[in-house]
Structure 1
Amino acid sequence: MNGLEFLLAGTLAAALPLLLAALGEMVVEKTGLLNLGLEGMMAIGAAIAFICVYHTGSHAVGFLAAAAVSTIIAMLFAVLVIAVRANQVASGLAIGVLGLGLSALFGKSYESLTIKGLPRFGLPGLSDIPVIGPTLLTQDIVVWLAIIGTGGLWFLLNRTKMGLIIAAVGENADAARSIGYPVVLIRLAAVAFGGAMCGLAGAYASTVYTPLWADGMIAGRGWIALALVVFGTWQTGRVAFGALLFGILSLGELTAQAVGVGLPSQLLSSLPYIVTILMLVVISRRKAGAA
């Protein structure tokens, strides 16, 4: 497999954890909340999913368990912010630290163990297309479901009454409450959704993308996903595009090695984080200029 084929084959899988976590956080932020605990929720989801798949052999069990545990962690954030009215930034950071700590605790005895990933399959009639058929159009079931789910989320947020209600809650909670919308319930549901999506993102990272457990394997993906929400201006399509872009960047080191580029591996592996910083700087300057 040459460098281009490797990049095409791995881009969607590399982008998927970022996409899932970013879409979940996007919905949370659309309701007027900000959860900075993505990294920790992804980490605990990754640990729980790996443990479940290791013992049961079922990826479905692993994904469901990861979603459930991350949702519970997210609801702690919701209780702190909505019920106790604690500071959102401090609460999100605390939840993130909690998730990272629990993932290290639960995963300690599984360090360096491996499991079997999911098989890939191509779309009928399309997988025979030269180059992109056996690479880009040949993916595992989670990737295909995520693509369908992304389209469904776009439709929900942009073409349904529920999407309008979510936007109304985020733009003016008092006005939404005054016309009878259950603001607290909508925000709780959004936080639960965001937590579940982070759990699924972590589960994919540890059981499919790199089917092994290593402490710290999320490696900043939660923060990149958080930045993607801003980069995508809270629009589903733009967030998905950003996830694909960062998926490509995250494969930069391996692709460069495949084609024989002589750049330091440390520089190549840091590209996603460098671009994240530059992206946030550009967005901040644009906002300052508009003001």
Structure 2
Amino acid sequence: MSVVVVTDSSACLSPELADRFGIRVVPLHVLTGGRDFREGVDAVPDDLSGVTTSGASPGELTDAYAAALADSDGDGVVAVHISRQLSGTWEAGRQAAQKFGEKVRIVDSQSTAMGLGYPALAAARVARAGGGLKAVYQKAVDVAARGRLLIVVDRLEHLRRGGRIGTAAALLGTALAMKPVLHVVEGKLVLREKTRTSTKALSKLVDAAVEQAGTESVALAVHHLHAPERAAAVAAELRQRITGIGELVVTEIGAVLGAHVGPGAVGVVVCPGDAEEITPDGGPEPSSTSAH
């Protein structure tokens, strides 16, 4: 067989894409009304106001890694997870991996959404080509280091309630009316720039993505929650301003991330590098998909 890649549901990979590359996706959890919903498995309520979330448990990850290791016929497992600064999933994975010795390697993507999805896909491509455990692990680490996640939220209340606002906490209080551009730095969600209107914030979001993309080949993902028109407008402007797009996908984020960023949020993941190693098709043909 070959090395198997495991990730979690915050990666925003569609079930079809995960199946195609043999990626095992472990669900994160949405908790509401005394019930526990597994993202990507259970029908999560549309209304995410007041919900809480939790990462995958060590037991869930132990089971996932054991199944993946069996599928690999002992070749090994590379597990690429959401930033340890944003979720307890990586730490749970570290605990679970100890049961398997050197056969399970854990990668902190220091990101989420397609900032996690692209490293998982790149690693799976290396595995499918016959790469060994070390090569698959290194590819995930390398692509994760190149990715940048930027996001604009309509309201900071969701991030404040979920405790995910990090060093952007200075925006709270009277600054809740601000429309900030946030980004993930060393795995933490921090303030990049303050703006006063949604229009200005989205403009700054595009500017920042263009700056990060440079002039070489790049994969882009535009994420949103209940804001398809905003996402489409951002994607259209990125297509006009960035010359080296190897892929541009537009996806609606899942419930776990959605519970923290709130309706109206729009994010962009910029991942510079050769299109054939970081895009699902290994080529420059743009595509659009919807992740659940």
Structure 1 or 2, whichever has the larger Rg, is 1
Relative contact order higher in (CA < 8 Å, ≥ 6 apart): 1
Q: Name the structure where strand makes up a greater proportion of residues.
A: 2
Q: Name the structure where helix makes up a greater proportion of residues.
A: 1
- TM-score by length of structure 2 reads 0.28
- TM-score by length of structure 1 reads 0.29
